[in-house]
A and B are shown apart, each in its own frame.
Chain A
Amino acid sequence: MKTNNWLLAAGLFAAAIAPGCKPKGAQTAITGDAASKVYVAPGQHDEFYNIVSGGFNGQMSVVGLPSGRVLKILPVFSVNPENGYGFSEESKPMLNTSNGFVPWDDLHHIAISTTNAEHDARWAFGNANNTPRIARVDLNTFKTVEIIEIPNSAGNHSSPFITQNTEYVVAGTRFSVPVGENRDVPIDTYKDNFKGHISFIGVNPESGEMDISFQIEAPPFNFDLARAGKNKSHGWFFFSTYNTEMAHTLLEVNASQKDKDYIMAINWKKAEEYVKAGKGTKKKVRYAHNKWNEETHSATSTIKEEVLVLDPKELKDMVYFIPCPKSPHGTDTDPTGEYIVGSGKLAAIIPVFSFTKMLKAIENKDFEGELSGMPVLKYESVLHGEVEKPGLGPLHTEFDGKGFAYTSMFVSSEVVKWNIETLEVVDRVPTYYSVGHLSIPGGPTGKPHGKYMIAYNKITKDRYLPTGPELTQSAQLYDISGDKMQLLLDFPTIGEPHYAEAFPASLIKDRQVKFYPLEKNASPYVLKGIKDARVERKGNQVHVYMTSIRSNFRPDNIEGVFVGDEVYFHVTNLEQDWDVPHGFAVKGANTAELLIMPGETSTLKWVPEKEGVYPFYCTDFCSALHQEMQGYMRVSARGSNVPLKYSTGESD
């Protein structure tokens, strides 16, 4: 013990006098008790759920805080061979679009449902950036239960942000595109033929079901991010815009010319009035609406062909523009709803706008001009003030509910804490490296839970064991309960996280679904017990009605199937106990396995191409006799006279 202390002291001394060519960084600025603050003892639960976007993996990750442990990868827009999502016959319709089956997307942002601007955590919404869609995840089952495609949109980045009672989830188009009947136009007719559309998707307060209520036609800008007004600004929505230069090539330069772009403020209560008064125009479009049914354990996809569009050029008092320096990325409203923060990527300051001043400027017609008939407010009239010298490359702002804002600085790789009223910078901490989004539990709501802040970084470089050219993405957890932000933990993440939300685990952990009651299973292929296990032939279709229960499949010997038959394995997991899924895989099938939850029915389709005997087995280690949970299907040449036969437990 003594010797160790001497060695440590000697080491520290040597390090202190060692000539370094690199200045001492904050990498060493971890204080002693950080480990105990993130330690969740074995068997204990984390305090918060963190629902994290997966970016280009198209999924969401469920992470526990403060430990940073990944609890689940939740498939949303990308197929997931691990549990058959997008591969089973029942789940395929979830990924249907007006362009057909799309197996992948890019999920950037999360919105957790709220009531009165506070988390109720019933649903998590996520956006598909590439083929514009919004998904709704049920947080009682951690399952994607609905996906709606967004017509007239491209690059669904300004999405899915929600109003304070989850009345609407919005989708603003990042890429403006030609819409309507003729979309085959020269690209250089951008200013005339391209349009930006903002979609307001109504959410049923009981079921959560989505439906596009209306779209607002907007100028062909790039719509980047958005936040709803809340509390005093409830009824308004704020969208950041860039490329107000309306360039269609080399945007890096051409969209960075103007000193100010805009935050577009939409009075959606006014829009509702116009909809009610029948002022919208029905436009012909095509989009898919996919729903998962928890009783039939299957999805349906419907193609819809109409959307209601409001034109703010004609319909006044609905859309206003607030000038905002320069190419704003995030626009965020503080917990009171009074302040709107615009984070201009290329701006040297952070402008903070006042909702009260905005209303006053609108009332006084304090306009500096207009855009196709929509008023542009005077910057100074709406401005509460500017945060000076915040850092370089402000992107996103979150709030702690104690009067402070936290802004991520992409270029200078730091988080800056500032006072919303006085606009003074009170603290700054480095991130490793190039921070994108920030997340504070409850941060975007009217009642932040505070305590922690997570920075989702874009670059990790030397922070972890290297894994070749492609490195892990990283998150960093900070304690924000004191005056100074304190780095507690680095943890690797899945995919490329963009936005994330966190909320107290106590909101949902006691209402988790443990299994599906068999008596409520309304799948047309369900088996309620082992008695009905059977095989039926319909032309060249073979339907295997199969049960799985520890530790057997029924039937497990099947003959009389021919090359080229369409074989459907309809497998019902008869277990009625928590944490007893059964898997199902058959040799040579050109699809993924099924992972069937207790009480669920799932279907794997397989067209055998060669004769032989094909084993199938349970892929989820379910019991002591899991390795015995297997069976055989005999496939014979087409035209041979092997009779259809199936059995379980019969020996010769």
Chain B
Amino acid sequence: MKKLSTLNRLLILIAALTLIPAYFTPLWQISLWAPQYPEGLNMKIWIDHLSGNVDQINGVNHYIGMKHIGDEMFPEFEYLVYVIAGMIAFGVLAFGIGRRWALYSFFGLITLFGMLVLADMYRWGYEYGHHLDPTAAIKVEGMSYQPPLIGYKELLNFLAYSGPDTGSWILIGGSALLIFAILRDRREKPTMI
């Protein structure tokens, strides 16, 4: 297998290190605005806990019978720390191996991780939005509400936003470095033959 250039190897290392901020920056954010909440309500999802206006959001959501959001609702908080640690380890390993397959595997792993996270988020949003308490004060049309996966969506008097937060943006930047490394590597290819 082809050996990687030093710069490409360094790009792998940097990409692996961009996973570290995930431990001390929020990964995802959900915001809500309403006429009487001009300042907005904001919830942040970290690697192993929630923060922000979780209580206020629960207070508002109980009118339509949504479940109480809390750390216990996310079993992911139990193992996400290990998953990310594993990915960092794999990245560092890929840097050490320094071969093309390692770069592709690492990129594949991160892409897979991102897709799984999105799928998991969608699943959670579906569960949260489709199991409304039938005795709730306000009946939502169709008794279901799928929160936005990424972007904006309106529900009653609220506009909801969901999107990546600091930790994820850094991670996305890291993945971009990997794409850059792959492109560089592919351009070098003809000269090697």
Contacts and interface: CB of A to CB of B under 8 A. Distances in A.
Task: Give the bracket for the number of chain A residues in contact with chain B.
Answer: under 10
A35 to B, nearest CB: 28
A17 interface: no
B78 to A, nearest CB: 25
Contacts of B56: 576-577
A550 interface: yes
B120 interface: no
Interface string A613-649: 0000000000011001000000000000000000000
Contact of A549 (B59, B63, B137): B59
B11 to A, nearest CB: 45
A593 interface: no
Interface of A: 549-550, 575-577, 624-625, 628
A609 B53 CA distance: 45
- What does DSSP make chain B's interface, helix, strand, loop or mixed? helix
A628 B138 CA distance: 13
Contacts of B138: 624
B137 A550 contact: no
Interface residues of B, number: 7
B59 A577 contact: yes
Interface in B49-89: 53, 55-56, 59, 63
Nearest to A549: B59
Contact of A625 (B53, B55, B137): B137
B51 to A, nearest CB: 14
Q: Would you list the 6 A-B pairs with minimal beta carbon distance, nearest first?
A: A577-B56, A625-B137, A576-B55, A550-B59, A624-B63, A549-B59
10 contacts: A549-B59, A576-B55, A577-B53, A577-B55, A577-B59, A624-B63, A624-B137, A624-B138, A625-B137, A628-B137
Contacts of B55: 576-577
A68 to B, nearest CB: 25
Interface in B150-193: none
Contacts of B53: 577
A550 B58 CA distance: 11
A625 B63 contact: yes
A501 to B, nearest CB: 30
A283 B56 CA distance: 56
A628 B136 CA distance: 13
A62 to B, nearest CB: 22
Contacts of B137: 624-625, 628
Nearest to A628: B137
Contacts of A628: 137
Nearest to B135: A649
A336 B138 CA distance: 65
A549 B137 CA distance: 15
Contacts of B63: 624-625
Contacts of A550: 59
Interface string B120-141: 0000000000000000011000
Given A549-B59, A576-B55, A577-B53, 6 more contacts: A550-B59, A575-B59, A624-B63, A624-B137, A625-B63, A625-B137
Contacts of A624: 63, 137-138
A628 B137 CA distance: 10
Interface string B26-68: 0000000000000000000000000001011001000100000
Nearest to B36: A579
A550 B60 CA distance: 9
